Amino acid sequence: MNGNIKKSFTLIELIVVIAIIAILAAIIAPNAFKAIEKAKISQAISDFKTYKDAFYTYYADTGVWPIVGTAPLVGEVPTSWIPITDNGFITNVKSLSGWDGPYLEKLKPMHSWAGVYGLDCYNRREGSACDVGLFFEDTCYPYPNTDHSCDVPHKVMLKIDQTVDDGNLSLASGGNVWKVDTAGGRTNLYWILVWDAGCTDSSIQ
């Protein structure tokens, strides 16, 4: 008699194994998604701090702000914003005598939700000078792109605001972070880099 008898799984055993795997997946998957989302939020906050440090160091060396787009006169509406490319962070694009960069180890043109980082100068508060802000644009990277599906989810915006600001995504709250509603129901996260920067000097454009 042959002692090497092969035993195969029965249908019931297979169903039990599949059920156990499904239960484990149901337990693990939400935590995995939360960990991914938390990592993206941490990266976004880190990116902002990196750009802010680069902005202020650039200004300390040169006396002007890095290139942020077409700057308006105080109180007027800006004509454009620009995506982050070099902007003076890596090379001395304005040939400024005090420039002592590079101010960034490397450029980070895309945020964690596959959209574009952008800079602008805008009068966000009535009666104030123009402010320099970092846009988490919903325009998908690379720019220009007609796909506007890469916006930061609202719940993530709220989490970022609760972590670093006042927990209120309204501009009227006076905080440093808020949600900007754009055409077609799209939204952008806007984060102030510099309050009352002015942005009227032609050297910033």
- What are 144-202's pLDDT values in tens digits? 889 999 999 999 999 999 999 999 999 888 889 999 888 778 889 999 998 888 765 54
Q: What is the pLDDT of residues 58-116, one digit of tens each?
A: 999 998 888 886 655 444 555 568 888 888 999 998 888 899 999 999 999 999 999 99
Which H or E element spans position 189?
strand 187-198
What is the chain's percent helix, strand, coil content, to nearest 5? Answer: 35, 20, 45
List Cα–Cα distances, 18 to 12, 32, 47, 102, in angstroms: 10, 20, 42, 55
pTM of the model: 0.78
